[in-house]
Amino acid sequence: MKTHHPTIPYRADIDGLRAVAVLPVLFFHAALGFPGGYVGVDVFFVISGYLIGSLVIKEIEAGTFSMVNFWERRIRRIFPALSVVVMACLVAGYFWFIPQHFEELGQSAIAQPLLCANFYFWRQTGYFETVSEFQPLLHTWSLAVEEQFYVLFPPLLLLALRWGKSFAIKGVIAFIVISLALSVYLTAAYPSFSFFLIASRVWELDLGVLLAILPARKFLAPLWNELMAWLGLGLILWAVFFYSSSTPFPGVAALAPCLGTALLINFNTGTPTSIGRLLSLKPVVYIGKISYSLYLWHWPLIVFVKYLSMSEVTQTKLVVTLLASFILAVLSWKYVETPFRKKSIFGTRKQIFAFGAVVGGFFVIVGTIMYKTDGYPSRFPPEVVKHQKNDSRFIHTTQLDCLLKGESLPTVGAPVSETGPPATLIWGDSHATVLLPAVDTIAREANRSVYVAAKPGTVPIAGVYFNEEGKGGTDYGTPVLQFIKDKGIKHVIMVARWEGYAFIVPGGDLRRLIGDEQTFPHSPEHAQQVFIRKLRKTVATLLDSGVTVSLFQDVGLQPRDVPSTVAQAASRGLDLNTFALPIEHHREYSKRVNDLIDEAIRGLDVKVIDPLPYFTNSEGIYLMAKDGQTVYNDRDHVSPFGSLLLRPELEPLIK
């Protein structure tokens, strides 16, 4: 006898709500407004929790739930369309991606069938960082979060319902509270971890599950239901239009889109509100129906369009790209999603599981080959591979740790036994360490040695702590000042990515903003006050001790990762500086932090060095490559070759 499986009533307004979720994501990724459009993913999470939760609960109550049936449905719903998109990305990547990006694509392909794409992208990059623009499968992190949730959710719900629905409700509420609290904490302390990983997202899916367990609650007066529905839509739209990539997320900020979604689901149950009727309009519902395929296709298309563009991608080109996404989504929904879901293709359970295993295994094998062969570099001439990476033996230096342990700072250049105690010290963060190839070369030629007080992410200013540590955090600068005094050092060279400690920079966050005993850095404005006050005091202390001070301004921030961009130009036979920007762009960007430095040292006898002219050609282009070699390691660290371009400034300071 055939077992009857309960179903949940179809709600057109929820398909319409999917449209509300997916469209802001598309426009955000295409940079066509909607600065907080990424919250559409959170709307999807709540919808998914509600729909899947409703179905699982009904089956459990009817005694027909089966994990095998559950995962058959999940594979049919998720994997076929995803497989087509991944395959398309692998083929396109083979022809267009340089080895580094093709290798990374292979790694992300491996992560798909293993349900760990979110872990991979958490380890690789931040969601809002520029490097993410070359990850065509970046958006699949959200699919991994959902599937990880559904590995755990049904068994836990089965177990909880043994003690009754009331116990299950309390358990879901407990998960919501704990996960939301974790999300708030992790977003402040470990923002990338919080964004990508499930611990901060469970509450969003569980909010949907809670709606599924509890009976819908509506007011007797229709007016109040209308107001609640409009409030729900307003919360979502407020997040979409007033959040941005600098909004700490998820954390507290995720409450608005998630609660808004919950209100729309709840208050349109049964008799729909005016918002429910709008969401049920056929065009809106149709976009909701194709929303999964639309979500899958839009981002890879945007990535490849940007990758192949010779300059900044125009809005017209991005609009055309989104239109192409709609066309592919319609085809994918009609010829891939629907036939698999309705069992027109691979109709038996055995067939669909075999399909999942074979295709998943194929992605793992091909991705592993791409990874192990370093992106199959033989596709390109050797000079393309040469540009991808610039290694320096100094890049991972952490000399300041030695000083904190009571040990002497290390040196570069000639051995101290031959030259006597160094009279010069270079002090800074990773921007100082990348200058060490040039400093070491110059010092050896001059038979001198130079002390190195450097640690990545550590500003050369005394008496400050970092936001992430709070008051009482490590003050790296004061021990350096004491070391300079004890050793009788006569000259200090200060080098840093100065803006990273007073502004929220691309790829950065509040954690590295500096504070002092007077001011906690709640915002960049607070950090800027500390920056001016403490940099001035640090420099004045050095000058009062008879030390000569030289300070390097920032080397600028390139629009893309330089080695891979130069390799990309080389792979197409283009000039290596095809993607480089005019010097005016970099001066405009650097002005805000240079103004802070000028204010801090006004009236003090400090030599300020501007590195920008040494990376600029006669046409006024700020170079990515010179004499066939890249001048940066990434977007803001100069390469060993790039450090030698600053020799005219470094040589007199050392000799």
Phi, psi of 629 (to 5 degrees): -130, 145
The Cα–Cα gap between 568 and 449 comes to 39
Q: CA neighbours within 13 Å on the CB side: how many for 79?
A: 24
Whole-number percent of the chain with pLDDT over 90 = 67
* pLDDT value at 154 more than 80: yes
Judge if 328 and 192 occupy the same domain.
Answer: yes
User: Which structure tokens are listed for 293?
Assistant: 């395929």
Residues 6+ apart with CB under 8 A from 142: 41, 44, 45, 118
Among 351, 379, 407, residue at a domain's last position: 379
Indicate whether 206 belongs to any domain. Answer: yes
For the full predicted model, state whether its pTM sits above 0.95. no
Q: Please count the structural domains in the chain.
A: 2
Contacts of 94 (CB under 8 A, 6+ apart): 102, 376, 379
> Residue 53 pLDDT more than 60?
yes
pLDDT recorded at residue 2: 47
Strands 491-495 and 548-552: parallel
184: which residues sit within 8 A by CB, 6+ positions away?
Answer: 251, 252
Considering the domain boundaries, does residue 176 fall inside one?
Answer: yes
Q: Tokens 């919250």 correspond to what residue?
A: 39
- Give the C-alpha separation, 361 to 354, whole Å: 10
More confident residue, 31 or 400: 31
What backbone phi and psi angles, to 5 degrees, belong to 213?
Answer: -75, -45
pLDDT in tens, 435-466: 999 999 999 998 999 999 998 888 999 998 88
- 201 and 117 both lie in a single domain: yes
User: Which one, of 292, 15, 257, lies nearest residue 143 by Cα?
Assistant: 292
In a domain, 33, yes or no: yes
Calpha distance 258→44 (Å, rounded): 9
Give bridge partners of residue 515 from the DSSP assignment.
465
Judge if 181 and 311 occupy the same domain. yes
**51, part of any domain:** yes
> What's the pLDDT tens digit per position in 280-291?
999 999 999 999
pLDDT of 4 > 70? The answer is: no
Q: What share of the chain is helix, strand, coil (3-state, %, to 5)?
A: 60, 5, 30
The confidence score (pLDDT) of residue 397 equals 57
Structure tokens at 599: 């204010």
Residue matched to tokens 């309705």: 342
253 φ, ψ to 5°? -60, -25
Closest CA to 364 of 196, 125, 119, 117: 117
In the predicted structure, residue 217 carries a pLDDT above the cut 90: no
Domain match, 438 and 304 both: no
| Structural domain includes residue 146 | yes
Q: Are residues 168 and 246 in the same domain?
A: yes
CA distance 392 to 284: 55
Residues 410, 360: one domain?
A: no
| pLDDT digits 0-9 by tens, 69-106 | 999 999 999 999 999 999 999 999 999 999 989 999 99
Domain boundary residue, one of 335, 350, 379? 379
Structure tokens at 460: 């050369």
pLDDT, residue 471, reads 64
pLDDT tens readout for residues 536-563? 999 999 999 999 999 999 988 888 889 8
Computed over every residue of the chain, the mean pLDDT equals: 90
Chain Cα centroid distance, residue 460 = 27
431 has a pLDDT exceeding 80:
yes
The Cα–Cα gap between 442 and 60 comes to: 74
User: Considering Cα of 118, then 122, then 125, then 130, what sign does the dihedral take?
Assistant: positive
Q: Find the helix packing angle between 647-654 and 436-445, rounded to 10°.
A: 50
- Whether 389 is covered by a domain: the verdict is no
Alpha helix (H) ranges present in 312-429? Answer: 315-332, 338-341, 349-372, 382-386, 399-404, 416-419
CA dist 604 and 221 (Å) reads 71
Q: What pLDDT, on a 0 to 100 scale, did the predictor assign at position 548?
A: 95
For residue 89, CA distances in Å to 103, 134, 308, 482 come to 12, 11, 14, 56
Residue 386 maps to a domain: no
Confidence of residue 510 (pLDDT cuts 50, 70, 90): low
Same domain, 39 and 122: yes
Is 503 contained in some domain?
yes
Q: Which of 379, 411, 432 corresponds to the end of one domain?
A: 379
Contacts for 117 with CB less than 8 Å, ≥ 6 apart = 108, 111, 137, 140, 141, 143, 144
Q: What is the pLDDT of residues 378-400, one digit of tens each?
A: 888 888 887 776 665 555 556 77
**And the tokens for 517?**
């005993």
Print the domain residue range for 471.
399-557+583-615+640-654
**Residues near 180 by Cβ (< 8 Å), separated by ≥ 6?**
203, 255
At residue 302, the pLDDT reads 95
Quick one: pLDDT at residue 522?
74
- Rounded distance between C-alpha atoms, residue 112 and residue 363, angstroms: 8
Residue 611 has pLDDT above 70, yes or no: yes
Percentage of residues in the chain having pLDDT higher than 70: 94
Domain co-membership, 228 together with 171: yes
Q: What is the CATH number of the domain that holds 468?
A: 3.40.50.1110
Q: Which residues pair with 548 in a beta bridge?
A: 491
Q: Which has more pLDDT, 418 or 140?
A: 140
491 sits in which H/E element: strand 491-495
Predicted pLDDT of residue 1: 40
**Same domain, yes or no, for 299 and 170?**
yes
* Tens digit of each residue's pLDDT (9 = 90 or more) over 346-364: 989 999 999 999 999 999 9
Q: What is the mean pLDDT of residues 598-615?
A: 94
Tokens 């103004």 sit at which residue?
595
- Are 358 and 416 contained in the same domain? no
Count other C-beta atoms under 10 Å from residue 544's C-beta. Answer: 8
348 shares a domain with 405: no
| Cα–Cα distance measured from residue 399 to residue 405, given in angstroms and rounded to the nearest whole number | 10
Q: pLDDT tens-digit profile of 304-315?
A: 999 888 667 889
The answer to whether the beta carbons of residues 494 and 427 sit under 8 Å apart is yes
What's at 89, amino acid-wise? C
67-96 and 99-111 helices cross at what angle (nearest 10)?
A: 170
Place of tokens 């954390």: 251
Q: How far apart are CA 640 and CA 619, in angstroms?
A: 24
DSSP letter assigned to residue 463 = S
Averaged over 570-588, what is the pLDDT? 89
What is the rounded CA–CA span in Å between residue 151 and residue 539?
A: 57
Cα Rg of the chain, angstroms: 28
Same domain, 293 and 404: no
Q: What is the pLDDT of residue 409?
A: 87
Lowest-pLDDT range, 259-263, 293-297, 518-522, 632-636?
518-522
Find the mean pLDDT for residues 153-182: 93
User: Secondary structure of 110-156 in the HEC alphabet?
Assistant: HHCCCCCHHHHHHHHCCCCCHHHHHCCCHHHHHHHHHHHHHHHHHHH
Nearest to 629 by CA among 645, 613, 618: 645
Nearest alpha-carbon partner for 521 in 552, 540, 539, 500? 500
Question: In degrees to the nearest 10, what's the CA dihedral of 173, 175, 178, 180?
Answer: -80
Taking residue 401's Cβ as centre, other Cβ atoms within 10 Å add up to 12
